[in-house]
Amino acid sequence: MTQEELLAQIYKKDNKAFTLLYDMYAKNLYGIIYNLLKDREEAEDVLQETFVKIWKNLDTYNESKGRFFTWLLNIARNSAIDRLRSKNFNNNQKNLSSDNFVHILDDTTRTMNKIDTIGIQEFVKKLKPKCIQLIDLLFFKGYTQQEVSETLEIPLGTVKTQNRNCINELRNLLRV
Amino acid sequence: MNTREYIESGVLELYIFGKLSESENEEVQVYANEYPEIKQEIESIEKAIINLSYSVAPNLSLDNFNTIRKALLERESGVVTLKPKSNWPAYMGWAASFLLLLGAGFLYFQMNQNDTLLKDSREKNQDLQKSVVTLEEQNKNNETLLNLFKDENNKVVALAGQTVAPEAKAKIYWNQNDHSVYVDAAGLPEPPKGYVYQVWSLKMDPLTPTSIGLLEKTEIGKSRIFKVDNTMDAEGFGITLEPAGGSAAPTLEQLYTLGKV
């Protein structure tokens, strides 16, 4: 299904549209949110909040906001960052042992049952540590290039190309 | 357009990550529609990222789907049944109008607050703009000064302190191409109130001073370097202290600095 066909279905905003949207993206968005919050209950709550926002603002999506997936991802990431910043959440936060998405893999593999997911996880773990950090900050944590450059102490001008090399590595592993 | 180079720049990854501005997004969009290889690349990157984000998610609880579905679809349907519980509609009316009044008051208060906020940020914005302009001006001045120091066509004439002010000194930068003259007055004492320094170009034989300007309004930034009038054929330069407005002829008792080309 192309993005256009998918959107035509989803814009109907009926039961079927929701099922489609949920099936296609809920888990991805949950992955992004969970990676920031590290708390399943909170992350499910933010996922719901995210879907409410998506549903309410569906009509405002257009191409200038990027790919549809990117638009969804921005809403999810921003909602999770907002939750992270709320005082309420900081006080409740207990186990912050896993600090990037690969640590989460180790935490979650035990409860995973889908074989293809485990397959991807094995690939992801093969990424260079530098790439894991870079993708974690830039994609999952929503850092700016500037912030990434400062945190990882790499020249600002190379963030973009280093990130591309890392994504290429991932694509080679996944063969996409 | 070199699509290979564009793809290798890494901008498409940032596009999928949601890290570009709206105008940058639009640019990518335009290229994607024009060049199939860019569109192809975008879809591949997206696929990788969708796989990646999917793979790091723990399992969602079983009722998550239903909870969210209810939150979206039942809110959307908007069917709310109202059962009249009271037979005193008049009281309801009064209560409603009271609430309305309260609400209006609150809104008015909020509006005022928003106004203040808006005004504040406008002011802040203005201040920032002002400092940008100031910085730009400073930058321009610094460039002028740098050029002044760098330009090999500039003849530098050192002016030494004279009897009234043996400690005073000044420097002339005289461009041999366009004949412009700049005076570095950092070594001159602050002129007393009601007086001003006047710069003279000198011909030596016979000694003929020609005024080339006052050191007051033509300062470059706060550098104590002043631009004065051009001169073609000076053989020396002198600076005297004169009453405000300057004099037709130099007051030689008040000759502060002097130097020969």
Query: B229-247 b/e with 16+ CB inside 10 Å = b?
Result: eebeebebbbbbbbeeebe
Statement to judge: residues B10 and B35 lie in one domain: yes
Query: pLDDT value at position A114?
Result: 46
Statement to judge: residues B145 and B160 lie in one domain: no
Statement to judge: residues B144 and B166 lie in one domain: no
Which residues, other chains included, contact A31 with Cβ-Cβ below 8 Å and sequence gap of 6+?
Answer: A101, B53, B54, B55, B56, B57
Q: Does the residue B39 lie in any domain?
A: yes
Q: How many other C-beta atoms are found inside a 10 Å radius of the C-beta of residue A33? A: 28
Query: pLDDT value at position A110?
Result: 47
Query: pLDDT value at position A61?
Result: 92
Statement to judge: residues B215 and B130 lie in one domain: no
Statement to judge: residues B193 and B122 lie in one domain: no
Q: What is the pLDDT of residues B97-111, one digit of tens each?
A: 888 988 898 888 888
**Residues of chain A neighbouring B26 (CB-CB closer than 8 A):** 63-64
Query: pLDDT value at position A95?
Result: 44
Mark which of B55, B72, B99 sits at the end of a domain.
Answer: B55
B8 in contact with chain A, both atoms CB, cutoff 8 A = yes
Averaged pLDDT, B175-198 = 92
- Residue ranges of chain A with per-residue pLDDT less than 50: 94-97, 110-115
Query: For the ranges A85-94, B40-49, B198-207, which has the lowest average pLDDT?
Result: A85-94
Query: pLDDT value at position A108?
Result: 55
Closest CB to B50 among A28, A117, A121: A28
Question: With a CB-CB cutoff of 8 Å, which residues 41-70 of chain B face chain A?
Answer: 42, 44-61, 64-65, 67-69
CB A51 within 8 A of CB A76: no
> Between residues B127 and B83, which one has the greater pLDDT?
B127
A100 in contact with chain B, both atoms CB, cutoff 8 A = no
Which residues, other chains included, contact A141 with Cβ-Cβ below 8 Å and sequence gap of 6+?
Answer: A35, A36
Binary contact (A164, B9; C-beta < 8 A): yes
Q: What is the pLDDT of residues B250-260, one digit of tens each?
A: 998 899 999 99
Q: Does the residue B102 lie in any domain?
A: no
Edge to edge, the sheet with strand B225-228 lists: B208-214, B195-203, B236-243, B255-260, B154-161, B169-175, B181-184, B225-228
**Residues of chain A neighbouring B47 (CB-CB closer than 8 A):** 174, 176
CA B245/CA B253 separation, integer angstroms: 18
Binary contact (A167, B13; C-beta < 8 A): yes
Q: What is the extent of the structural domain holding B158?
A: 154-260
- pLDDT of B225 strictly over 70: yes
Architecture per CATH, domain A101-174, reads as Orthogonal Bundle (1.10)
Q: Does the residue B225 lie in any domain?
A: yes
Statement to judge: residues B178 and B249 lie in one domain: yes
- pLDDT of B206 strictly over 90: no
Nearest residue of chain A to residue B20 (CA atoms): A66
Q: What is the pLDDT of residues A19-69, one digit of tens each?
A: 999 999 999 999 999 989 988 899 999 999 999 999 999 999 987 889 999
Beta pairing partners, B171: B158, B184
Q: Closest approach of chain B CAs to the CA of A33, in angstroms?
A: 9
Query: pLDDT value at position A88?
Result: 63
Q: Does the residue B196 lie in any domain?
A: yes
The CA dihedral of B4, B5, B10, B16, to the nearest 10 degrees, is -50
Domain count, chain B: 3
Statement to judge: residues B145 and B191 lie in one domain: no
Averaged pLDDT, B150-168 = 90
CATH 1.10.1740.10 fits A3-92, yes or no: yes
- Every domain of chain A with CATH number 1.10.1740.10 lies at 3-92
CA A67/CA B29 separation, integer angstroms: 9
Beta pairing partners, B213: B199
Q: What is the pLDDT of residues B15-40, one digit of tens each?
A: 999 999 989 999 999 999 999 999 99
Indicate which of B52, B69, B76 best probes the interface with A, i.e. most A CBs within 10 Å of its own CB: B52
Binary contact (B45, A171; C-beta < 8 A): yes
Binary contact (A111, B59; C-beta < 8 A): yes
Query: pLDDT value at position A91?
Result: 58
CA B202/CA B198 separation, integer angstroms: 13
Nearest residue of chain B to residue A109 (CA atoms): B58
Statement to judge: residues B240 and B169 lie in one domain: yes
A156 in contact with chain B, both atoms CB, cutoff 8 A = no
- pLDDT of B80 strictly over 60: no
Q: What is the CATH number of the domain that holds B245?
A: 2.60.40
Statement to judge: residues B123 and B177 lie in one domain: no
Q: Does the residue B61 lie in any domain?
A: no
- Smallest CA-to-CA distance from A16 within A69, A8, A58 is with A8
Q: Does the residue B222 lie in any domain?
A: yes
User: What percent of chain B clears pLDDT 70, i.e. is strictly above it?
Assistant: 95
Q: Does the residue B75 lie in any domain?
A: no
Averaged pLDDT, B136-158 = 87
Q: Does the residue B206 lie in any domain?
A: yes
A53 in contact with chain B, both atoms CB, cutoff 8 A = no
